[in-house]
């Protein structure tokens, strides 16, 4: 690999966040508008958008379409942000695209993208180069000023919206919703998760001019309804066993994907959603792995609503005997507006699950600074848990200590470890596991046929 071009990409991190589409638009023009070579589904939201994107992309692939997927951030390597039919693009293709971008950046007048914008440009070039027929594109931050807003979207999806990145997106749910709803393309289908906050609902409804092209997806009704019909009287189904007030977010993401495909009229991909769910491997999101015969659950619950959903799902699965309650926790997070709101659901799980051992660690620096592990440990202690809390700065040492404790608690059946918090924490844990176990975490589509031609999951 050429160190120069990769060093150049790394240097772009210094530009941070750019609240403008101008630089990306200029560079796309100089690259002959690669984003117009394929239609895209554009997805924004606070939680669940990555899972929704993965299921959507795999549904298109399984239906026979060459499909590109752009997501962020990455867990192990930057190539993960750009996948074609489930697999990250090669270093060679990534580098070739970077060289093209670097060249047009240096054309007068000189324009430089941010690191994130550069990866988006690589995705657009790679998709065009590889003949992608359909793309699924996840926003990075917000929506209004996100580079992904420049894709040719024929459908937009808004997942659950919660308080996040308030220093950039706004102090209230309504302000954040307004930024994310800016991805709406007038005259194209819009699918939005039903918000129980009236101010959020009004913001999204105002963002869409044609309410015949927009649907609310409602988990409580297990269906999508046009904006104009969503508040009409509803006759419950006689058999409500399918819904008891809560559902795993993977199931919710799949239903949202299915609703979008139906609105778009993509019958072949719609028919593949169930198979896509089975064959989707979305790393770091309620992901179970086994290391040294110790079960480990990984989840990137990096904001309060994400933490609440993750803890609800752990509790739900334990109550249904679908998965065990963790016995040990490894936790680390980035700076939060209110750290207490992030920790509260986890503390409730610790108390209810009688989890006695927590290792607090420190994720590497990313877009946001990490919370010092000693500070985080003290915050947890102040929440009133009786668990033994140990602060260890090194993620590798913390994970090793957690594994030792899991075996110490039960040598015959080691206690499960929950690794939860920052995306950067989970990324480092996956790197450590990958080095030890040589697992493939980066291909999100489990091959639908094995060597013998038989579906290995069916």
Predicted confidence at residue 237, as pLDDT, reads 52
Is residue 217 within 8 A of residue 194, CB to CB? The reply is yes
pLDDT over threshold 90, residue 404: yes
User: Would you state the pLDDT for residue 170?
Assistant: 78
Judge contact between 46 and 303, C-beta under 8 A.
Answer: yes
Q: Domains of the chain, with CATH numbers?
A: 3-279 (3.40.1190.10), 287-437 (3.90.190.20)
pLDDT, residue 425, reads: 94
Write down the pLDDT at residue 30: 97
pLDDT at position 163 is 75
Buried b (16+ CB within 10 A) or exposed e, 332-352: bbbebeebeebbbbbbbbbee
Three-class DSSP category at 216: strand
Sheet arrangement for strand 417-421: 287-291, 294-299, 417-421, 328-332, 357-360, 388-391
Residues 6+ apart with CB under 8 A from 327: 355, 356, 357, 406, 409, 410, 415, 416, 417
Q: Find the helix or strand (DSSP H, E) in which 217 lies.
A: strand 214-218
Which residue, 426, 329, 437, 331, is CA-closest to 387? 329
**How high is the pLDDT of residue 438?**
63
Least confident range from 17-31, 216-230, 276-290: namely 216-230
The encoded tokens of residue 73 equal 């951030």
* pLDDT tier at 238, thresholds 50, 70, 90: very low
Give pLDDT, residue 166: 67
176-211, pLDDT tens digit by residue? 999 999 999 999 999 999 988 899 999 999 999 999
What's residue 406's pLDDT? Answer: 96
pLDDT at residue 451, rounded to an integer: 61
Single out the residue of 113, 95, 92 nearest to residue 29, CA to CA: 113
* Mean pLDDT, range 286-294, rounded to an integer: 92
Q: Cβ atoms within 10 A of the Cβ of 451, count?
A: 7
The answer to whether residue 1 scores a pLDDT higher than 50 is no
pLDDT of residue 273: 96
Q: What is the pLDDT of residue 399?
A: 97
Which helix (H) or strand (E) is 8 found in, with range? helix 3-11
C-alpha 392, offset from chain centre: 27
Global pTM value: 0.91
- Who wins on pLDDT, 170 or 293? 293
pLDDT at residue 232, as a whole number: 67
Q: CA-to-CA distance for 196 and 160, rounded, in angstroms?
A: 10
The answer, yes or no, to whether residue 245 has pLDDT greater than 60, is no
Highest mean pLDDT among 117-131, 248-262, 318-332, 350-364: 117-131
Would you state the structure tokens that stand for residue 67, as one six-digit string? 């499909």
Determine the average pLDDT of the residues in 380-400. 93
Q: Is the pLDDT of residue 150 over 50?
A: yes
Q: What is the mean pLDDT of the chain?
A: 90
**Residue 248: HSE in the Cβ half-sphere, 13 Å Cα cutoff:** 17
- Report which of residues 227 and 337 the model is more confident about: 227
Sequence-ordered strand ranges (E) for 45-201 = 67-70, 82-84, 87-88, 134-138, 153-158, 190-193
Residue 242 has pLDDT above 60, yes or no: no
List, as one string, the DSSP characters of 315-381.
HHHHHTTSSPPPSEEEEE-B--S-HHHHHHHHHHHHHHHT--EEEE--PPP-SSPBPPHHHHHHHHH
- Average pLDDT for residues 220-233, to the nearest whole number? 78
In this model, does residue 240 exceed pLDDT 60? Answer: no
Q: What pLDDT score does 220 carry?
A: 75
CA 153 vs CA 161, 339, 447: distances in Å: 20, 36, 28
- Residue with more model confidence, 377 or 171: 377
pLDDT band at 61; cut points 50, 70, 90: very high
- Residue 119 has a pLDDT of 98
């Amino acid at each position: 690999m050429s160190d120069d071009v990769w060093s150049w990409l790394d240097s772009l991190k210094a530009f941070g966040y750019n609240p403008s589409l101008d630089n990306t638009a200029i560079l796309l023009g100089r690259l002959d508008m690669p984003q117009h070579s394929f239609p895209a589904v554009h997805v924004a939201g606070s939680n669940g958008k990555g899972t929704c994107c993965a299921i959507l992309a795999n549904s298109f692939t399984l239906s026979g379409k060459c499909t590109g997927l752009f997501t962020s951030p990455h867990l192990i390597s930057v190539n993960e942000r750009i996948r074609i039919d489930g697999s990250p693009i090669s270093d060679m293709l990534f580098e070739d695209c970077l060289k093209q971008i670097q060249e047009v950046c240096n054309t007068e007048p000189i324009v430089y993208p941010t690191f994130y914008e550069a990866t988006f440009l690589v995705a657009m070039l790679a998709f065009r180069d590889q003949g992608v027929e359909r793309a699924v594109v996840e926003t990075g931050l917000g929506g209004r000023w996100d580079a992904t807003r420049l894709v040719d979207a024929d459908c937009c999806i808004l997942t659950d919206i919660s308080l996040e990145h308030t220093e950039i997106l706004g102090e209230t749910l309504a302000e954040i919703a307004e930024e994310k709803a800016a991805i709406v393309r007038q005259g194209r289908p819009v699918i939005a998760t039903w918000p129980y906050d009236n101010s959020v609902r009004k913001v999204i409804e105002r963002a869409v001019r044609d309410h015949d092209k927009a649907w609310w997806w409602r988990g409580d009704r297990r269906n999508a309804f046009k904006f104009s019909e969503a508040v009409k009287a509803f006759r419950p189904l006689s058999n409500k066993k399918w819904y008891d007030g809560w559902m795993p977010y993977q199931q919710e993401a799949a239903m949202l994907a299915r609703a979008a495909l139906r609105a778009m009229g993509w019958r072949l991909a719609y028919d593949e959603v169930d198979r896509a769910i089975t064959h989707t491997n979305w790393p770091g999101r309620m992901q179970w792995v086994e290391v040294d015969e110790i079960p480990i659950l990984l989840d990137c619950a990096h904001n309060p609503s994400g933490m609440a959903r993750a803890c609800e799902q752990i509790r739900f699965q334990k109550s249904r005997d679908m998965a065990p309650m963790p016995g040990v926790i490894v936790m680390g997070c980035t700076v939060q507006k209110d750290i207490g709101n992030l920790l509260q659901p986890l503390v409730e799980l610790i108390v209810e699950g009688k989890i006695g051992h927590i290792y607090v660690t420190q994720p590497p620096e990313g877009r946001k600074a990490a919370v010092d592990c000693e500070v985080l440990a003290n915050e947890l202690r102040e929440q009133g848990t009786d668990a033994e809390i140990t602060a260890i700065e090194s993620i590798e040492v913390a994970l090793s200590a957690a594994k030792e404790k899991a075996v110490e608690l039960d040598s015959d059946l080691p206690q499960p470890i929950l690794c939860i918090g920052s995306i950067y924490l989970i990324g480092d844990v996956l790197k450590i596991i990958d080095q030890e176990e040589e697992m493939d975490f980066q291909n999100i589509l489990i091959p639908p046929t094995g060597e013998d031609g038989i579906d290995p999951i069916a």
